[in-house]
Every structure is written in C-alpha cells, then in structure tokens.
C-alpha cells in the first residue's frame, strides 16, 4: 500500500492511498499548524479505511509546488513514518519550485 501526501494547495492537504488497485482519498483543510495535524489526519484516514500503519509499504510526497514550510513538514512526517515503520525506502528529499523567501528581522 502506498500513501501519498500532497501539500501543493496552501489551504487543503490531500492524502491518497493506493491499495489493492484502488485509490482511497482524504482531504482536510489546514492553513496553519500542519505539523500538529498531519500525522493525526493520516492516522484518522487509515482507521476510516480500515488499514493499519504497518500495512504501508511506501510513502510519497508530492512537493514540487507549494509553500516551503508545508513541503518541509510533509517530507519530515513522511521520513519519520518511513523510519518508524522500518520501510526499506530511501530518504525522501524535498523539491522546491523556487528558493525560500526568508526575510531579515526588522
């Protein structure tokens, strides 16, 4: 089973599961505090579809577009799950469509 996390929309997070040649989808609104909500939403999604974390074989992050911090949060969560579940997949590296816009403090 493959879990895909898509944070390209600044307000909506899309989760997809590919299991047994079927796609299950879950969307949730999240403009702030994604790091507090993402893992809980993944858990809720898996429970709703009657799957367990240990049935995951691969985790992907669709991260070519989107805000820097949302991409970092999704990639960090995916890598933590990879490590915690003992998946034999390489470290997921973030990809950004532009350089981060970091401003100096006034």
pTM more than 0.75: yes
pLDDT of residue 64: 67
Residue 63: pLDDT over 70? no
pLDDT band for 86, please (50, 70, 90 cuts). very high
pLDDT digits (tens, 9 = 90+) for 9-42: 889 999 999 988 999 999 999 888 999 999 999 9
CA dist list (Å): 12 to 17, 32, 66: 17, 11, 11
**Rounded to a whole number, what is the largest CA-CA distance in the chain?**
54
Residue 99: pLDDT over 90? no
């Amino acid at each position: 089973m493959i879990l895909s996390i898509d944070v390209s929309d600044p307000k909506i997070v899309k989760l997809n599961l590919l299991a047994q040649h079927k796609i299950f989808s879950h969307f949730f609104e999240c403009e702030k505090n994604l790091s507090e909500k993402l893992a809980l939403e993944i858990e809720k999604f898996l429970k709703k579809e009657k799957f367990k974390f240990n049935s995951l074989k691969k985790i992907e992050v669709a991260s070519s577009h989107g805000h820097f911090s949302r991409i970092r949060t999704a990639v960090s969560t995916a890598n933590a799950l990879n490590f915690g579940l003992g998946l034999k997949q390489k470290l997921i590296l973030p990809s950004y469509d532009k350089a981060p816009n970091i401003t100096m403090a006034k």
